[in-house]
Amino acid sequence: MVRQACGQPIGALRLRAKRKAARGHLRAGQKGLPEDRNCRSHGNRGWGSRRLGNIAVAGLGGLGKLQEGTVEIAAREVTLSGKAEDEATAELARSLFKKDAPKAFKLADNIKFVKPTLPVASPFVTRIDAKGSVVELSGSVPTDAGRAAILEAVKARLPGRTVNDKMQLAAGAPAGWQTCLAAGVSGIGRLGAGSVQLTDGRAEVVGEADDEALAQAVTGEVRAAASRACEADVKVALRAAQEPNLTWRAARSIDNELLLEGDVPDAATRSDLLASAARHFAGAKITDRMTVANAKSQIWGGVADLGLKSLARLRRGEVVLSRQDLLVRGEAADTAAAATLKEQIARDVGKGYTGRDAIEVRTDAAIWAEAEAKKKAEAERIALDAEAARKAGEAKRQADAAALSEKQAANTAVDNKRKADALRCQTLIRSAAAEGIIQFERAKADIDRKSFPTLDQLTRLANDCPEFKISIEGHTDAEGTDERNQKLSDRRAKAVADYLAKAGVQPDRLTSAGYGAARPIAPNDTAENRAKNRRIEFEVKAN
């Protein structure tokens, strides 16, 4: 047996040897010990070869790094045992021992070291951020071996990156810590960037992908790899592709004409839209005013086609695709069709696009009612035109009669001429009144502003024949009581007289009277006839 001593015994080297030559090698090996140690060696004689000495040298090299220890050789197995200051020193002793020992021998070690007391991290958080060319590790790590394993996984999954390790040793790591982090690192490695954060037993993996299939695959792989180690929350967002800034429109008329206009990304999309229009608008007259903008998009064509399909289910309407906003508006045949369209537009619009609608419901009954209303309005227009023609004819007849009277009166006395002049003045005033508008607020004597131009014209006509007095008569329809109608007609006649006086007609030339519904010019059986009976009439008096 050989012993070493450096002030006080620090270890023993046990060797079974047959030759003296080993002693020289032991002395040479002792030089690897620290200089402040006074080391001696004593060996058994009879060791068989120089190889035994080489083994001793290897053992002393590792032994010199330990606080205390032994090297023991038994048969062809060499064992280094002892106590080191820390894990790094223990690893250095092992490496020196294994480096210098002959390869023909089996090597073993039993080196112990005092593990430092680590602070407890609660919660225990470890984070890995991969961005650009840098990967940063922060938070807590339970052991140096765990640190090495995670660094190795990062370098394997994210090669060529600068790795900044800011992790601090701490106690309190959850079970499955390394497995869970490795699963997350594998996921962001597939994505090329992202972050992994393990908080106690819950991991959050965040990243982005251009492809939906890749996003789904990474999500499934990470969850599967971390299934029993921790709870994994994987959030892979799809990067929105830059969509073209185009404005396109499709409009359908009630006559089944379809207009396609605006910009499309490419010629192929234009052809696809025309083909879709032909399929969904059978028999329609299709006008193509689309222009090719030479843009790129994987989604735009599908969104525009969704708009065409929606438009095909409307009676009429339009689709506008502006930037990434799809608007469908028009008339649906019933509530169910409108609800289905609204749901499809919101659900099926492409990612990155928004779908909106302004769809109204117009049933067949509503359309029929509108058509009937139009027919009635047209009939009323024709009736009004006929009435206007009648009034014009009447005015012309009266004018002709006045002209005839005037011609006849030329051969009569002065009184007859005056009567003729008065009649002519009356004819002009009545004609202007008939062709113009004299209306009042409903059930009131307040003159409607639309009547002012007519009354101003009557003022000028009245002043053209200043020698005659003018009687203004008010008439109503038969609705209401006789007393009420008489009073209302009287107030209306007076309101017209007051207007003419204020406009410049001498007040003493004007008289007014109301006759209520006593002098109708038409039966009070229809709204139209009642409107005729609500009137103001003028009589020019020669005397």
Query: Helix count (H) and strand count (E) of the chain?
Result: 14, 21
pLDDT of residue 293: 93
**What pLDDT band is residue 539 in, cutting at 50, 70 and 90?**
very high
Mean pLDDT across the chain: 84
**For residues 155 and 69, what is the distance between their CA atoms, to the nearest angstrom?**
37
Q: 247-362, what's its fold?
A: hypothetical protein tt1634 (3.40.1520)
The secondary structure of residue 478, as a DSSP letter, is: S
- In sequence order, what are the residues at sequence separation of 6 or more whose Cβ sits closer than 8 angstroms to the Cβ of residue 62? 69, 71, 80, 93, 94, 96, 97, 109
**For residues 154 and 157, what is the distance between their CA atoms, to the nearest angstrom?**
5
pLDDT of residue 44: 41
Is the previous residue joined to 265 through a cis bond, with omega within 30 degrees of 0? Answer: no
Q: 388-541, what's its fold?
A: 60s Ribosomal Protein L30; Chain: A; (3.30.1330)
pLDDT of residue 257: 93
Predicted confidence (pLDDT) per residue in 20-32, tens digit: 333 333 444 444 4
Predicted confidence (pLDDT) per residue in 128-165, tens digit: 999 999 999 999 999 999 999 999 999 999 999 999 99
Predicted confidence (pLDDT) per residue in 170-202, tens digit: 999 998 899 999 999 999 999 999 999 999 989
CATH 3.40.1520.20 domain residues, the chain = 125-238, 247-362
Predicted TM-score of the model (pTM): 0.35
pLDDT of residue 258: 94
Query: Is domain 2-113 annotated with CATH 3.40.1520?
Result: yes
Q: 125-238, what's its fold?
A: hypothetical protein tt1634 (3.40.1520)
**What pLDDT band is residue 287 in, cutting at 50, 70 and 90?**
very high
DSSP-derived pairing of the beta strands 316-322 and 247-252: antiparallel
pLDDT of residue 62: 67
Predicted confidence (pLDDT) per residue in 34-72, tens digit: 433 333 333 444 344 455 566 666 666 667 778 788 888
Predicted confidence (pLDDT) per residue in 72-96, tens digit: 877 778 888 888 877 778 778 777 8
Task: Summarize the confidence of residues 351-357 as an average pLDDT.
Answer: 88
> Which residue in the block uniquely carries the two structure tokens 């200043």?
466
CATH 3.30.1330.60 domain residues, the chain = 388-541
Calculate what percentage of the chain has a pLDDT beyond 90: 53
